[in-house]
Amino acid sequence: MTGLPHSIQAETLDLLEALTPFRSVAGNRDEQQQLAAWLEAWLVTELDATVVLPVADQPEAHGPPLVHVRIDIDAPATVVLYNMYDVMPASDEGWDVPPFSGGLRHWPDKGEVYIARGAENNKGPLAGMLMAVRDLWLTGRLTTNIDILLEGEEEIGSGNLRRYLAQQPCPIAPAEAVLFPSLCEYGGGAPRVYLGFTGMTTGRLTVNGGSWGGPHAAIHASNAAWIANPAWRLVEALNAIAPAHANGVLHTQPITGEAADLLDDLAPQFSIRDELIMRRSERLTIDAAPWDALAHLLGSAVLTIPEIYSSPQGGRGIIPPEACAELALRTPPGIDHRALLDTLRQRLADPSLAGAQLSVDDSYPGYRFSIDDSGVLELLNSYHQQGARPQIWPWAPGCAPAYAFAPVAPAFLIGGLGYGGNAHGINEFVTLRGLARFQQSLSDWLLGF
In the prediction, which pLDDT does 9 show? Answer: 86
CA quadruple 376, 381, 382, 388: dihedral sign: positive
Domain boundary residue, one of 336, 364, 392? 364
Q: If you average pLDDT over every residue of the chain, what do you get?
A: 95
In a domain, 188, yes or no: yes
In the prediction, which pLDDT does 1 show? Answer: 39
Q: What is the mean pLDDT of residues 122-149?
A: 97
In a domain, 15, yes or no: yes
In a domain, 80, yes or no: yes
Rounded distance, CA 443 to CA 438, Å? Answer: 9
| pLDDT for residue 256 is more than 60 | yes
Is 35 found in the same domain as 143? yes
Q: What is the mean pLDDT of residues 9-33?
A: 96
Domain that holds residue 181: 6-197+366-447
Is 146 found in the same domain as 51? yes
Q: Give Cα 442 distance to the centre of its chain.
A: 19
What CATH number is attached to the domain comprising 37? 3.40.630.10
Is 216 found in the same domain as 97? no
Q: What is the mean pLDDT of residues 266-293?
A: 93
Determine phi and psi for 148, rounding to 5 degrees: -110, 125
Cis peptide before 191 (omega within 30 of 0): no
Domain boundary residue, one of 364, 379, 414? 364
pLDDT band at 279 (very low <50, low <70, confident <90, very high): confident
Q: Angle at the Cα of 202 (from 256 to 24), degrees rounded to 5?
A: 110
Is 247 found in the same domain as 210? yes
Is 238 found in the same domain as 115? no
Over residues 84-112, the pLDDT tens digits come to: 999 999 999 999 999 999 999 999 999 99
Q: What is the mean pLDDT of residues 201-222?
A: 97
Is 185 found in the same domain as 61? yes
In the prediction, which pLDDT does 155 show? Answer: 85
Is 300 found in the same domain as 153? no
Total number of domains in the chain: 2
Over residues 288-341, the pLDDT tens digits come to: 999 999 999 999 999 999 999 999 988 889 999 999 999 999 999 999 999 999
Give the rounded percent of residues in the chain with a pLDDT score beyond 70.
99
Is 28 found in the same domain as 170? yes
Q: Angle at the Cα of 192 (from 6 to 146), degrees rounded to 5?
A: 60
Over residues 365-411, the pLDDT tens digits come to: 999 999 999 999 999 999 999 999 999 999 999 998 899 999 999 99
Domain boundary residue, one of 364, 392, 421? 364
What CATH number is attached to the domain comprising 343? 3.30.70.360
| pLDDT for residue 360 is more than 80 | yes
Question: What is the model's pTM?
Answer: 0.89
Is 177 found in the same domain as 55? yes
CB-based contact 198:398 (threshold 8 Å): yes
Is 443 found in the same domain as 314? no
In the prediction, which pLDDT does 365 show? Answer: 94
Residue type, 73: I
Rounded distance, CA 243 to CA 27, Å? Answer: 33
| pLDDT for residue 2 is more than 60 | no
Residue type, 52: V
In a domain, 186, yes or no: yes
pLDDT band at 278 (very low <50, low <70, confident <90, very high): confident
pLDDT band at 3 (very low <50, low <70, confident <90, very high): low
Is 126 found in the same domain as 14? yes
Is 87 found in the same domain as 114? yes
In the prediction, which pLDDT does 7 show? Answer: 75
Q: Is 375 exposed, middle or buried (0-12, 13-18, 19+ CB in 10 A)?
A: buried
In a domain, 1, yes or no: no
